[in-house]
Structure 1
């Protein structure tokens, strides 16, 4: 069921499906809430699954100023609108950055935190330079050229070979996002701080879903972070790049289900 939140700090749309303990799944870049369709369809049998469209994506308008923190406030507005006291939040890539910002700002509302192909580290200087080049590419040639160039690298070689339709589906999803929003997301990611301290201070379980073939968030950069929380659940998937929700859909869904079950104990 589609719902809307509209207050002075947050305007946008989100879906709610199922009943039970709340699980809020935050999409990444260049996606919308539909990226979680497989997980939503399975997990709504056990939980209340909430999938927002972040500002600028899907059915949510782009709002300014946009930052990782403002998107965390948007998620917070949804949690309040749903009357939720405790929520498990998992975010993919950029969505993980938003989930970490939420955990930093609203720890009292958190029951569990999931990083799905994401990291608590800030961008390296090399990564920042790559983002700046992408910004120039989008400014000069538009969104489609960037999306068609960037999206294939989000999948593992095995997926690109065996399931090219998945790559095309993400290209089509990415092209639904206006170039203004894509630029705003990249600027927000560039500005985000290091949040490894959030993991160290986390009073809740933390889930890590990692792809062995992820070049966007390489496994070697994430593994040192899994020891920071007091309680970590770690899943490393073979033949999986940056898009485990699609590439390894069943295993990713099971990991989320097991994590949700653990967080209810």
Structure 2
């Protein structure tokens, strides 16, 4: 490990890079990535505005975050990698794939999507921005985190839900509102999936309110080479709800690419 707090890097071998979702941090990947480090180098980044990466952020757009990821990977001497993006991290991954596809050996959309927000979802983002401006981040987190987990999993994942809330409440208000606006304004990137020269792994939860099944089915056939994993009794947080299965799927995907 290193002294830099905005990323972690461990293990050796070919590189898998992990991007967290909205109001999350690199911490969500800590336990998930440990077993992978026996075969691969794993890097988890704090995206601009989140985790410990909250100083002087001017650009919360998915493209701006993708530029940040590219600069960070160059700094870490990563020429090519598999990029794993959870939720908002997947939107950043899609922007990255559009701009810097030559750096990708593979891409995993982990409870994420290449589709833009629907009008209804845009409207909800605006209402959430208003709510956060008015009531603050802590109040927002009280209702935001639990529904990300499938109802039947919440009791046994109290510790993980508490971790998510802890990360969430420490997120600056401008990062929350900036992130919401950036997600609202992101374009349709299904054409990037259709043009992908690298394999794509999709991981979906069947009970995920954020990425409904019909939206999942709309895009998973687009790449030339894709693997798709649908998980029953799983919401939006597969790294906690189905740690073993999602990690194994990712490991198999990486081994298929890296041999």
TM range (shorter): over 0.9
Instruction: Indicate the residue corresponding to 2:188 in structure 1.
Output: 194
CA deviations on 1:81-137 (whole Å, 9 max, x unpaired) are 122221110100000000010000001111001100000000000000111110010
The residue correspondences of 1:1-265 to structure 2 (distance < 5 A) are 1-2=1-2, 4=4, 13-62=6-55, 63-265=57-259
Instruction: Find the aligned partners of 2:161 and 2:52 in 1 and give their Cα distance.
Output: 22
Kept in 1: contact 2:54–2:172 (CA 8 A):
no
Instruction: Tell me how far 1:13 sits from its aligned partner.
Output: 1.9
Is the Cα contact below 8 Å between 1:38 and 1:249 reproduced in 2? no
**2:203–2:230: 8 Å Cα contact kept in structure 1?**
yes
**CA–CA separation in structure 2 for the residues paired with 1:74 and 1:102:** 10
Secondary structure of the structure 2 residue equivalent to 1:210: strand
Q: Which runs of 5+ in 1 are unaligned?
A: 5-11
Contact 1:210 1:237 (8 Å CA) reproduced: yes
- Size of the aligned set, in residue pairs, is 258
Residue segments in structure 2 that go unaligned for 5+ positions in a row: none
Structural RMSD (CA) = 1.3
Give the SS at the match of 1:76: helix
C-alpha contact 1:30 1:173 (8 A) present in aligned 2: yes
Whole-angstrom CA distance in 2 between matches of 1:34 and 1:162 = 19
Q: What do residues 57-104 of structure 1 show as CA deviations (whole Å, max 9, x unaligned)?
A: 112124102210010011101221122221110100000000010000
